[in-house]
């Protein structure tokens, strides 16, 4: 938002020069004649436009984009003006009579996909506990990633669409996969193996803390009031949880919590990169496949380096057949969860999707209470801490919107 004064100089006798003065909404002076000119302009309208926010109906009031440059880059506003092609069929989402109704429908579907993703994540990650009884975490990560890729290939084959979009988006999706599910699953399955699924998944849900820390350090963001309320709630709940006993038979070391904290870090990093990759267009479901392939590639390299020292280049043969079946729910359910999360992010905003997705620890606690009564103690401390983490994560995410 500025008053622009510009000139075009002639480079030959056949060309004409040009002088122009323009405000954000109109050209107030323009001439091709030589001479000295004085133009009076005011800054009141410029300041007024800067103080506004660009909305869907701004064109009815202003002849230029209101707001500042950072607000123009908001992807949720871009989606209102130019709705992206949904990974679902165009007729799968009911139409509405106006822009407001269309946005409400998109928000409704975003909420539904986010809640479904929370259930799939909670059940899928909980199921890894049974496979870890028979195999080391690194082998379990490999099996889960293989099933994720197969799940995505089946979904894409059924849909019959293969639009990768901009190659930069595909490359960013692949990079996301190295961190999540690659490094994320390595840390999470080690945490589940040591702490039990309920506690590991609860600590993993503290990922908004790391998302805020990265934004403050590298993006110069200033935490809002809601963020300042949510962060102490999350940190206090985790500190209170780590001081208690429980876990797998009560045998919990302080160092074991580092795996869950590492999983939270990679989980907090992933949504920011996913949202950035989605801006390049293409098919979000195919983007999930690129993400899974990035994770599987990093996991194969990790297994080849670490397990290859003892098992040789054919380390896959050391995986028990029973474990191959037990990790099937982890790969299939989390693979489908990735699709639902990508769909939710393509239809709604991070501030709507991520608080709902962080409710997965409550699913894990319910599953542990039902199936692991003799292995993992689900007490009042754990339930209270999980509720505080979920609430704190919602406050942090809403505060950053």
Tokens of 29: 């002076």
261: pLDDT strictly greater than 50: yes
Structure tokens at 367: 């599953």
- Are 108 and 38 in the same domain? no
Residue 90 falls within a domain, yes or no? Answer: no
* Alpha-carbon dihedral angle through residues 66, 86, 275, 229, given to the nearest 10 degrees: 80
CA-to-CA dists, residue 112 to 25, 76, 309, 353, 357, angstroms: 41, 18, 46, 9, 11
Q: Residue 94 domain-assigned?
A: no
Instruction: Answer whether residue 296 is part of any domain.
Output: yes
> Looking at the domain assignment, is residue 89 inside a domain?
no
Nearest to 364 by CA among 117, 112, 116, 124: 124
Q: How many domains does the chain have?
A: 2
Contacts of 255 (CB under 8 A, 6+ apart): none
pTM of the model: 0.60
Mark whether 249 and 362 lie in a shared domain: yes
pLDDT digit string, tens, across residues 101-154: 444 677 788 888 888 988 998 899 889 888 988 888 888 888 998 998 999 888
Between 80-94, 171-185, 197-211, 382-396, the lowest mean confidence (pLDDT) is in: 80-94
Q: Does 86 fall in a domain?
A: no
User: Is the domain of 208 the same as that of 258?
Assistant: yes
Let me know if residue 130 belongs to a domain.
Answer: yes
Residue at a domain's end among 21, 56, 73: 73
Residue 321 tokens read as 């057949």
Token duo for residue 155: 């979904």
Q: Are residues 263 and 134 in the same domain?
A: yes
Q: Where are any strands of DSSP class E within 95-162? A: none
Nearest to 344 by CA among 88, 70, 122, 74: 88
Kindly tell me if the per-residue pLDDT of 96 is higher than 50.
no
The burial of 157, by beta-carbon neighbours within 10 Å (0-12 exposed, 13-18 middle, 19 or more buried), is given as exposed
Domain containing 11 equals 4-73
Task: Answer whether residue 93 is part of any domain.
Answer: no
In the Cβ-directed half-sphere of 139, how many Cα atoms lie within 13 Å?
22
159 and 47 together in one domain = no
> How far is the C-alpha of 286 from the C-alpha of 291, rounded, in Å?
9
- 163 and 110 part of one domain: yes
- Return the SS3 of 4: strand
Are residues 260 and 389 both part of a single domain?
Answer: yes
Residue 102, pLDDT score? 46
Give the residues across from 20 on adjacent strands: 6, 30
Contacts of 36 (CB under 8 A, 6+ apart): none
The answer to whether position 88 is within a domain reads: no
Q: Note whether 235 and 142 are same-domain residues.
A: yes
Which of the listed residues 56, 73, 90 is the one where a domain comes to its end?
Answer: 73
Residues 184 and 57 in one domain: no
Most confident of the following: 82-96, 114-128, 279-293, 350-364: 114-128
Q: Return d(Cα 260, Cα 184) in angstroms, integer.
A: 9
d(CA 52, CA 57): 12
Are 259 and 293 found together in one domain?
yes
Mark whether 66 and 211 lie in a shared domain: no
- Is 138 found in the same domain as 37? no
């Amino acid at each position: 938002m500025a008053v622009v004064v510009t000139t075009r100089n002639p480079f030959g006798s056949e060309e004409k020069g040009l002088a122009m003065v323009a405000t954000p909404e109109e050209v107030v002076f323009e001439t091709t004649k030589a001479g000295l000119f004085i133009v009076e302009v005011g800054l009141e309208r410029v300041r007024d436009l800067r103080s506004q926010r660009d909305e869907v109906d701004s064109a009815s009031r202003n002849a230029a984009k209101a707001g500042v440059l950072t607000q123009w880059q908001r992807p949720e506003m871009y989606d209102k003006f130019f709705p992206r092609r949904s990974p679902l069929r165009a007729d799968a989402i009911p139409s509405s009579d106006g822009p407001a109704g269309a946005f409400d429908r998109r928000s409704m579907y975003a909420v539904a996909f986010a809640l479904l993703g929370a259930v799939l994540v909670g059940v899928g990650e909980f199921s890894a506990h049974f496979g870890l009884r028979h195999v080391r975490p690194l082998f379990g990560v490999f099996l889960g990633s293989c099933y994720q890729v197969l799940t995505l290939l089946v979904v894409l084959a059924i849909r019959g669409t293969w639009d990768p979009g901009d190659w930069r988006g595909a490359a960013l999706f692949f990079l996301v996969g190295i961190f999540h599910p690659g490094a994320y699953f390595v840390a999470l399955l080690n945490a589940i193996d040591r702490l039990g699924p309920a506690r590991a998944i609860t600590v993993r849900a503290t990922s908004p803390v790391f998302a805020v820390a990265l934004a403050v350090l590298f993006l110069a963001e200033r935490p809002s009031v809601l963020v300042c309320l949510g962060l102490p709630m999350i940190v206090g709940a985790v500190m209170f949880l780590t001081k208690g006993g429980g876990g797998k038979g009560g045998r919990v070391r302080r160092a074991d919590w580092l795996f869950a904290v590492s999983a939270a870090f990679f989980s907090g990093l992933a949504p920011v990169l996913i949202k950035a990759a989605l801006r390049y267009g293409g098919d979000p479901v195919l983007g999930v496949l690129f993400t899974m392939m990035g994770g599987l590639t990093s996991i194969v390299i990790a297994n080849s380096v670490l397990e290859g020292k003892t098992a040789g280049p054919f380390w896959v043969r050391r995986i028990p057949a029973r474990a191959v079946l037990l990790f099937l729910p982890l790969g299939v359910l989390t693979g489908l969860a990735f699709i639902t999360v990508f769909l939710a992010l393509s239809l709604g905003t991070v501030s709507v999707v991520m608080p709902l997705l962080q409710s997965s620890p409550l699913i894990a606690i319910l599953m542990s209470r039902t199936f692991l009564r003799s292995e993992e103690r689900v007490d009042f401390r754990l339930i209270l801490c999980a509720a505080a983490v979920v609430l704190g994560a919602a406050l942090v995410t809403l505060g950053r919107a």
